[in-house]
Amino acid sequence: MLPAYFKLTIKNSGDNQLDFSTDGANNTFTVKGYGVKLDGTFGAQETLFADPTADLASNAFLDAASEINNSSNQYIGYWCTAELLTDANDADGQVDIFLQWSNDKAAAATYVSDAGDYDGDQDLVFVGQVRHTATASEDRHSNFFLTAPIA
């Protein structure tokens, strides 16, 4: 089962900044998903990562603006689609998607990204990515299944 409270974090693994703020009308990134219960039923579609309002520099991380509350639904996973729409790709690259959860099992609690020695490349759980190429305009989509990591 997924944690009671979690959020997604993205990383721009490309060589160029993604202009979500300065050119937000033409550059967006979202992750939407359907929660899945143990009996195989699905919940309604949810936005798990909303379109960023800040530019994302090369090799920089950005946490989702809000956490997902899974405490009552208790989904075991999410069928997800990530979408990157851009008109300004000057280089090949990718947006990596990571999972982190509340260390306190509570809402608005402490996350791994709050740690003083936080290093997203080492501390987060990789769950998917959207690749893009150096083109003037590109829309890329990627499917992935979000589930709790197995130790």
Give one DSSP letter per residue of 14-73, joined into a string.
SSS-B-TTTTTTT-EEEEEEEEE-TTS-EEEEEEEEPPPSS-B-TT-EEE-SS-EE-TTT
Prediction pTM value: 0.91
DSSP 12: E
Q: What pLDDT does residue 115 have?
A: 92
Q: How many domains does the chain have?
A: 1
For residue 89, is pLDDT > 70?
Answer: no
Residues 130, 120: Cα–Cα separation, whole Å: 17
Strand partners for 79? 34, 145
Q: What pLDDT does residue 99 have?
A: 96
Give residue-wise pLDDT tens across range 16-55.
888 888 776 778 899 999 999 999 999 999 999 999 988 9
Domain that holds residue 92: 5-147
DSSP 104: T
For residue 94, is pLDDT > 60?
Answer: yes
Q: What pLDDT does residue 126 have?
A: 95
Q: Tell me the CB-side half-sphere exposure of residue 7, using CA atoms within 13 A.
A: 21
Residues 113, 60: Cα–Cα separation, whole Å: 13
Q: What pLDDT does residue 143 have?
A: 96
65 band by pLDDT with thresholds 50, 70 and 90: confident
Q: What pLDDT does residue 136 have?
A: 66
For residue 73, is pLDDT > 70?
Answer: yes
